[in-house]
Amino acid sequence: MNLLQRIDRWGETHHPKWIDGLRILLGLVLMWKGIQFVQNIDLLKARITEQPFLTVVAFWVAHLIVFAHFVGGLLIALGMITRVAVIANIPILIGAVFFVNSPTHLFSVHSELALSILVLFLLLFFLVEGSGKLSVDDYIRRHPEKTPV
């Protein structure tokens, strides 16, 4: 049994119900941020072009961030291919923590550094934990399709 299978089995056996609520809330927060980025796409592109190594690809990075947050948030909230959605969002949150949010604005009124760190921590947690009992993944696992003979 390889490491990923052992992590998946551990996540299935050690999963209280309240964690599913936390996973759904995380997915909704990511979707909300994706919607906010769509509404302010020009501001997002301007913020990305502040980083000299991303200036050329700012348009694509901005749209990738919106797509990963919205679709990944929806998949995380539904508990459908949760680990794939989490993996798609982790690089974006690492970029938000280390490149976008400056450390000096931690205690300012409109700082989102604390939210970014919290969401990154939760993404790492659900990468290990998985989707849980209240999820599409668990439903598919419990109700396998009948294979034609």
Q: pLDDT for 91-113, tens place per residue?
A: 988 888 876 655 544 444 445 77
pTM of the model: 0.78
CA-to-CA dists, residue 24 to 29, 82, 137, 138, angstroms: 9, 11, 14, 14
Residues 127, 87 contacting (CB under 8 angstroms) = yes
**Residue ranges covered by each domain of the chain:** 17-134
66-87 tens-digit pLDDT: 899 999 999 999 999 999 999 9
| 146 DSSP 8-state letter | P
For residue 147, pLDDT over 60 is answered with no
